[in-house]
Amino acid sequence: MLKRKDILGLSDLKKEELELILDTAESLREVSDRDIKKVPTLRGKTIINLFFEASTRTRTSFEIAGKRMSADVINISASSSSTVKGETLIDTARNLQAMSPDVVVVRHASSGAPHMIAEAIDASVINAGDGCHEHPSQGLLDLLTIRQAKGSIEGCRVAIIGDIEHSRVVRSNIYGLKTMGADLVVAGLPTMMPAGIEKMGVDVAYSIDAAIKGADVIMMLRIQKERLSNPLFPTEREYSIAFGLNSKRLELAKKDVVIMHPGPINRGVEIAPEVADGSHSLILDQVKNGVAVRMALLYLLAGLKQGDN
């Protein structure tokens, strides 16, 4: 079992812990292929999905994961910041604690918000994405997907391409992949490359061609021009010419390269439709693995707490 209360990021998870989560997820994957998609593992457990930021994919994935394990799952959509209500984030957390949940799944636009909540309450907290910090369940489902496709993560060359600075997916992936022995390169525009990223132990490239050459895995990131108050590149068209992944560029990569994307994809911007839908793409496998990984996390945090029955 996991000897920790919370899953706030992959930065401090050891290799054995990552492997335990991935192995557990692997064994739970088949529940979703059954006719009756339900096991009683988390019966009587309460899971609160506390989402301060809009999300369809991640929230639904956690909800399905909880329900397939027979937990009671409650979704709460909160306003983006607690301060507008005149109460603090800590107040919000304590109010939830008073209702005795077993697991609180937190999504927040502010980095560190799940950490503050985790410190304030006894229930387990799973970070479902905080600001530009971490998105551990996404990182884990990416690890699972790569392990399935390549047999082993160790020694894989992974290229992550896009808006590195504003991506929580990147940070979780770097930690998880490095711990599992992969070799990484991140690539993007210099205006979207965060300070000191190379100290995380990755190569840095400013050209997509350089990054994908020799890569076993290419992970494309969504370009969210609409979320940037001050766009860091002139037009989507120009970005696409410089950093879009299309079938011509793909010829530079290894023949058995796999393509991943945390979604939602911008067709024709960072990824051409023929690549997103092509034979190298694992985008839908990622989504399926997302449910399995989240089932594993909920099980490992809440499942065996009382008496290991």
Minimum distance of other proteins from residue 183's CB (angstroms): 19
Which residue's CB is nearer to other proteins, number 23 or number 91? 91
Question: In whole angstroms, how close is the CB of 161 to other proteins at the nearest point?
Answer: 17
**Half-sphere exposure of 194 toward its Cβ, with a 13 Å CA cutoff?**
14
Nearest to other proteins of 116, 253 (CB atom): 116
β-pair type (157-161, 124-130)? unpaired
Q: Report how far residue 109's alpha carbon sits from residue 174's, in angstroms, rounded to the nearest whole number.
A: 20
210 CA to centre of own chain: 25
Contact by Cβ (8 Å): 285, 217: no
Nearer to other proteins, 179 or 240 (CB): 179
Closest approach of Cβ 216 to other proteins, in Å? 25
DSSP characters over 215-245: -SEEEE----GGG-SS-SSS-HHHHHHHH-B
Give 93: exposed, middle or buried? Use CB within 10 Å, 0-12, 13-18, 19+. Answer: buried
The H or E element containing residue 283 is: helix 283-298
Pick the closer one to other proteins by CB: 196 or 234. Answer: 196
> Closest CB to other proteins among 230 and 306?
230
Angle between helices 57-68 and 136-150 (to 10 degrees): 80
- At closest approach, how far in Å is the CB of 272 from other proteins? 29
Binding site for other proteins (CB under 8 A): 11, 81-83, 86, 88-91, 108, 110-113, 115-116, 130-134, 165, 168, 171, 194-197, 199-200, 229-230
Contact 260, 2 (CB under 8 A): no
Min. distance of Cβ 288 from other proteins in angstroms?
A: 27
Which lies closer to other proteins via its Cβ, residue 76 or residue 284? 76
- All residues at 6 or more sequence positions from 75 whose CB lies less than 8 Å from its CB, including other chains: 48, 49, 51, 59, 63
CB of 179 to other proteins, least distance (A): 15
Alpha-carbon distance 132 to 35, whole Å? Answer: 39
Closer to other proteins by Cβ: residue 110 or 246: 110
> Smallest distance from the beta carbon of 160 to other proteins, in angstroms?
14
